[in-house]
């Protein structure tokens, strides 16, 4: 078993515990405001715990709703609310399924572990096929590119 597959399988096992979180939607007023309200804490009280102004707490809550809040700020606020800030990714399906889906559209030579074989190809132009340097915008440019060879 290759190392990448082993790492993927170990990560997959850890992520399985997070699968129930897929269905959780954030509160309409945001996590900071929802938890603050549930604790019966005013914006002024949270501001005192954070060492900021009441307006800063309101701004943080608004930034959370708009997606403009930073991870650093959310960690700090979570500490002030006696919480742990958790930020991560929960795959929609398994990592293996996602990998298979991504690889299905690739050329066979592009698959991991496959040797790459290339050849030169000359691109055509309006005046027919051209090889070598072509004058274009005052600079020499080659109209050649690498392309993977078709598998026999």
pLDDT confidence of residue 110: 62
Options 1.10.3470, 3.40.50, 1.10.1760, 1.10.260; CATH for 19-80 is 1.10.260
Contact 43, 32 (CB under 8 A): no
Q: Where in the chain is the domain with CATH 1.10.260?
A: 19-80
Specify whether the CB–CB gap between 95 and 12 falls below 8 A: yes
Mean pLDDT lowest for which of 32-41, 67-76, 102-111? 102-111
What gap in Å lies between CA 70 and CA 64, rounded to an integer?
8
| Mean pLDDT, residues 19-37 taken together | 94
Residues 103 and 55 sit within 8 Å (Cβ to Cβ) = no
Q: CA–CA distance from 130 to each of 16, 118, 123, 143, 148 (Å)?
A: 56, 20, 7, 7, 20
Confidence of residue 127 (pLDDT cuts 50, 70, 90): low
Q: Is 152 a residue whose pLDDT tops 50?
A: no
Better-predicted residue by pLDDT, 48 or 107: 48
| pLDDT of 128 higher than 80 | no
Contact 44, 54 (CB under 8 A): yes
Helix 54-66 × helix 31-38 angle, to 10° = 130
Q: Are 146 and 120 in contact (CB under 8 A)?
A: yes
Distance CA 22, CA 20 (A): 5
**pLDDT tens for each residue of 52-81:** 999 999 999 999 999 999 999 999 999 999
Is 90:14 a contact under the CB 8 Å cutoff? no
How many other CB atoms are found less than 10 A from the CB of residue 131?
Answer: 11
Q: Is the pLDDT of residue 106 over 90?
A: no
pTM metric for this prediction: 0.63
Cβ(6)–Cβ(95) below 8 Å: no
């Amino acid at each position: 078993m290759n190392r990448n597959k082993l790492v993927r399988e170990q990560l997959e096992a850890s992520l399985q515990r997070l699968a129930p979180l897929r269905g959780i939607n954030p509160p309409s007023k945001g996590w900071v405001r929802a938890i603050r309200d549930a604790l019966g804490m005013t914006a002024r009280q949270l501001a005192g715990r954070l060492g900021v102004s009441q307006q800063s707490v309101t701004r943080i809550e608004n930034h959370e709703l708009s997606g403009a809040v930073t991870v650093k700020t959310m960690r700090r606020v979570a500490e002030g609310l006696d919480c742990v800030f958790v930020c991560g990714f929960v795959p929609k399906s398994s990592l293996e399924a996602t990998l298979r889906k991504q690889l299905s559209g690739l050329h066979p030579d592009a698959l991991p572990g496959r040797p790459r074989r290339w050849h030169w190809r000359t691109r055509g132009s309006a005046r027919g096929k051209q090889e070598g340097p072509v004058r274009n915008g005052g600079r020499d440019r080659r109209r050649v590119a690498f392309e993977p060879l078709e598998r026999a």
